[in-house]
Structure 1
Amino acid sequence: MSGLLRWPGRYTDRHGAQDIVFESDGRELIRTTIRGVRFEGGTMDTLGALDGEPPEQMFTFRDGDLWSCLLEWGLTMPVEVEGQGERIATVHCALRLWYPVETEDLTVTLRLDGREYRATHPDFEDALHEIGAALPRHARLKACISCAWSDYSPAGHSMMTGLACFRDAKDVYRRCDGKRGPHGIFTIWPLHTEFVQETWLCEQFEHRTSDRGYRGPFPFRGWD
């Protein structure tokens, strides 16, 4: 694994809190070490212990995944500001995994130019949609969630990393016009390049327009 992203974070449960670091490839792999135990998963809510579950008194698990805790991590995200170029926003993420009530609350807070934009939803898609819509008219996020070549499956997706990238099938994806049919998302789905995290970014990024793909526009304003 190369080109790892490193996100400073914090783990909190009934035993206390610990500063940690998450490592990710920006696609489908996240890993960290908590109290000397290595965890790995495809999303933040599917982190499992690599060497088997440690003693129950150290952690709480649900179906083998870390649970009953608060996971926090920080990252940066480019924001393109009309007439001013690219700015770097800081993003704080807080995921609450509660037990025995099986609920997940993800709070994403983006800070830009002294202002905060905050949203709480079950997943990154809805949280970043709300934040994107709340930004000033001249500003828009620059990440996979707002890219012209990304889309979700109509069958649903996970809390994060369920965003399919079609950068190697651009001509086909340009003709996507709904769920089914010869140009529907179900038909072209096998042609996707890979799955990526909503906050990832590659050199083939292009801003999403209002008529692109199955899922439609990302909610920016003024530059349709």
Structure 2
Amino acid sequence: MMPAVGCGNDEWDLRYLQSGSRCRRSVLRGEEGMQRWKAHYKDILHDTDIEILNTEGDYSTDPLSFTLDGITFQGTGLGDFRLADPERQEEAGRKFALLKWGGHHSKYHVTSPYRYDLQRYALEAEIPVSVFRKRDGQTVGGRILLAFRYERPDMSKSHSIVLCDDERVYRDEAVVSEFSLYVDGKGYKSRKMTLWFEEALKDISAQMKDSYYMKCCFTCQYSDYSPYGSDDYGIMLCYCRHKDACLKVNGKDDFFAFLEGKDFDGRQETYLCSRYSPRDRAAGYRGFVEGVADQGRGGKGTAIQGRQ
């Protein structure tokens, strides 16, 4: 039986996962609005290629999922998979390491359903992304390669508060070994070893700004992050139905003045639709992206404005 992580048992180690993984580098697209990402999954009982389904839907629907050993996991990003059917937690606990959290919190007088997050695994996955090539103005296919593992948390560091009933439990710590973009046979490796797509993609954009920029929600004029906070992947706010308002936003105060309260779609950073427009006219709340603003301004300087 697999030891559960959290609610009393945290003994499963992941050091063996530091050996290389074997991601089969290909991406398949199925029915409209569905991507099938090829990935490689590894834990103490599994070492196999898997297929991650991505519905590319609004983030409220948990668009990512995969099934392994008869158990399905789902999540918004590659680092937050959870058991899709909590009723199967006993069976899943014999095959995977799970962090159980939720329940009744007497201090806050709140009761929530139990959730079972996947822990102690390594994953290497490839994400397709469109890339604009500046030398000939063509849009070409690129791929983001992300590799990481979850291991026992470092208790000398601070951790977010997660409770299982009234007992504090601790999520595993992500160790990222690669976050790179490949296009036209060239590789751009982020110096930010993180699951936080905003930080890694900003770094990659700066490296390739003279030759390329990603053509996706991350570089679109009409997408932004919430001033109230965001997760590591898949919760960009698309305001393409309010284009004129987007062009008035150049900071947090403008966001609250012109976009707060308006309807939006939740989108993934790598999503691309027919309403895409390069982020070169207004900084929005999150700022410009290097290489995109330069392109729109005739290459005259770099316009970068970070979040405040």
Using structure 2 for the length normalisation, give the TM-score: 0.66
Shift of 1:210: 6.0
Quote the Cα distance in structure 1 between the aligned partners of 2:257 and 2:200: 25
Q: Go from structure 1 to structure 2 and tell me whether the alpha carbon gap of 1:65 and 1:150 turns closer, same or farther (over 3 Å shift).
A: same
**1:184 corresponding residue in structure 2:** 255
Counterparts of 1:140 and 1:50, CA distance in 2: 36
1 CA distance for matches of 2:211 and 2:78? 32
How many residue pairs get aligned? The number is 222
In 2, the alpha carbon distance for the partners of 1:195 and 1:186 equals 20
Please list every run of 5 or more consecutive structure 1 residues that lacks an aligned counterpart in the other structure.
none
Q: Partner amino acid for 1:11?
A: Y
SS of alignment partner, residue 198 of structure 1: coil
1:79 aligns with 2:152: no
* Preserved CA contact (<8 Å) 2:220 2:276: yes
> Which residue of structure 2 aligns with residue 161 of structure 1?
234
Separation in structure 1 between the aligned mates of residue 151 and residue 265 of structure 2, nearest angstrom: 31
State the distance in 2 between where 1:68 and 1:15 align: 11
Between the aligned partners of 1:198 and 1:4, the Cα distance in structure 2 is 16
Quickly say closer, same or farther: Cα 1:13–1:136, change in 2 above 3 A: same
Residue of structure 1 aligned with 2:218, choices 141, 145, 148: 145
Aligned match of 1:130: 203
Q: Which residue of 2 aligns with 1:31?
A: 65
Compared with structure 1, are the counterparts of its residues 217 and 136 closer, same or farther at alpha carbon in structure 2 (3 Å cutoff)? closer
Secondary structure (helix, strand or coil) at the match of 1:125 reads: helix
Q: Write the mapping of 1:96-111 to structure 2, written as runs, cut at 5 A.
A: 96-101=149-154, 102-106=172-176, 107-111=178-182
Q: 1:55 offset after TM fit, Å? A: 4.1
Identity, in percent, stands at 25
Select the residue among 144, 148, 155 that pairs with 1:95: 148
Look up the match of 1:171: 244
Change (3 A) 1:165 1:136: closer
8 A contact 1:165–1:194 mirrored in 2: yes
Unaligned runs of 5+ residues in structure 2 are: 1-30, 102-115, 155-171, 298-308
> What amino acid maps onto 2:144 in structure 1?
V
Deviating above 4 A after TM superposition, structure 1's stretches of 4 or more consecutive aligned residues are none
- In 2, Cα distance between equivalents of 1:127 and 1:33: 28
Tell me what 1:214 maps to: 285
In 2 relative to 1, CA 187–171 (structure 1 residues): closer, same or farther, beyond 3 Å?
closer
TM superposition shift of 1:59: 0.9
The one-letter amino acid of 1:74's match is E
Structure 1 residues 105, 153: closer, same or farther in 2, change over 3 A?
A: farther
Note if 1:46 corresponds to 2:117.
no
How many angstroms apart in 1 are the aligned matches of 2:250 and 2:182?
A: 35
CA RMSD of aligned residues (A): 2.1
In the alignment, is residue 17 of structure 1 matched against residue 51 of structure 2?
no
Matching residue within 36, 51, 56 for 1:6 = 36
The letter for the 1-side match of 2:212 is A
CA distance in 1, matches of 2:263, 2:146: 27
- Using the TM superposition, name which of 41-50 and 166-175 deviates more: 41-50
* Cα distance in 2, alignment partners of residues 184 and 132 from structure 1: 24
Cα pair distance change 1:96/1:189, threshold 3 Å: farther
Q: Looking at CA atoms only, which structure, 1 or 2, has the larger radius of gyration?
A: 2
Task: Give the alignment's TM-score, normalised by structure 1.
Answer: 0.89
Question: Quick check: 2:77–2:234 contact (8 Å CA) kept in 1?
Answer: yes
Task: Report the 3-state secondary structure (helix = DSSP H, G, I; strand = E; otherwise coil) of the residue aligned with 1:40.
Answer: strand
Distance 1:132 1:139, change over 3 A: same
Contact 1:154/1:179, CA 8 A, preserved across alignment: yes
